[in-house]
Structure 1
Amino acid sequence: MFEPTMIIAGASLVGLTIVASVLLRAWQGWLALKRQELERHYAPDDEKAGSSLGAARIEISDLKERIKKLEAIASGVDL
């Protein structure tokens, strides 16, 4: 009635389905964890939001200044 090959194939299919569903559930859990980390990291606190925004603006202005200096050096202009 049931051949050993069919039993092994059926058991393998069931095992593969179980492993795939466990891995999918683990992947979804990992993504949920990363979402929580991002929300916690970028949560707008009153004090934290202002200081990080100001620091970002200062860093951007520093980068712009460096770019201007490098462009001046590349064109041969002394500052």
Structure 2
Amino acid sequence: MTEAMTTVTVASFALVGLTIALAAALKGWQGWLEVKRMELGSAGAGAGEPRSAAMERIEIADLKERIRKLESIAACIDL
């Protein structure tokens, strides 16, 4: 009878430990999702802000560089 009680006690402690670990993981996951929502929200809010000409030139140069790299990949040329 004592061995059976020991087994039940160990199993119950393991179940409680698993529950605590899963609750902590779920809380962390929800926190990570909230951070990503905030990042997406701040990116959408910045879309209406006026940008300077220098920022536009930098973005255009970046896009041109990306296009050049994609074209070289499409042509099977190593950079």
| TM-score, scaled to structure 2 | 0.56
Q: Distance in 1 between matches of 2:69 and 2:18?
A: 56
2:9 paired with 1:7: yes
- Runs of 5+ unmatched residues, structure 1: 69-73, 75-79
Structure with max Cα Rg? 1
- Runs of 5+ unmatched residues, structure 2: 72-76
Q: How large is the RMSD of aligned CA atoms in angstroms?
A: 3.6
- Count residues in correspondence: 69
Q: Distance in 1 between matches of 2:53 and 2:61?
A: 12
C-alpha displacement at 1:45, in angstroms? 3.2
| TM-score, scaled to structure 1 | 0.56
* Percentage of pairs with the same residue: 29
